[in-house]
Structures are given as C-alpha cells and as structure tokens.
Amino acid sequence: MGHLLDFTKARNQEIYPLSKTFYGKNPDGREIGFTNYYMTIDGKPFFAISGECHFTRVFENQWEEDLKRQKECTLP
C-alpha cells in the first residue's frame, strides 16, 4: 500500500531543526531528529503514519476482526 502526499497547495514556511535535545543516534549510527514540521532519519524527512484503538470503545465480539485490520494497517 502506498501513500501520496500532495504539497502543491502548501505555503512556503521556514523549516528549521529543533535543538540537539531532540536528536539521537541508535547503536547502528542512524540519526533521528526533528524539525518544526517533521521527523528526520539520517537527515531525510520522515512522516510517520500511526493509529490507535481504544478497546473500551470496541465490543468484545469485534476485537479479533479489529486487531486483524490494525495488523493489516487498514484502520477503519
């Protein structure tokens, strides 16, 4: 599954790195950081796509189907 981000209508905004407090390296040497707009991995923009499920809002008989959807990354 691919995702397409359309930046054609984006306003030109100054993008700047946050302080070194928001940077780090993993044991393999990959650097993770943040700008005022996005996360970076090895200096390249990275846009995370995530979701969450509140199990108290899902009927128990729907848990299995809901968890399968989440594993497939097709949250409703």
pTM assigned to the model: 0.54
Starting from the edge strand earliest in sequence, which strands make up the sheet with 24-25, in order? 24-25, 31-34, 39-41, 44-46
Kindly list the domain boundaries of the chain, sorted by start residue: 20-71
* Six-digit token string for 48: 């995370």
| Residue labelled with tokens 């393999």 | 28
What is the mean pLDDT for each group of 10 consecutive residues in the chain (76 residues)? Answer: 78 89 92 94 89 86 87 66
H helices of the chain, in order, are: 63-71
Q: Answer whether 51's CB lies under 8 Å from 44's CB.
A: no
* pLDDT value, residue 1: 58
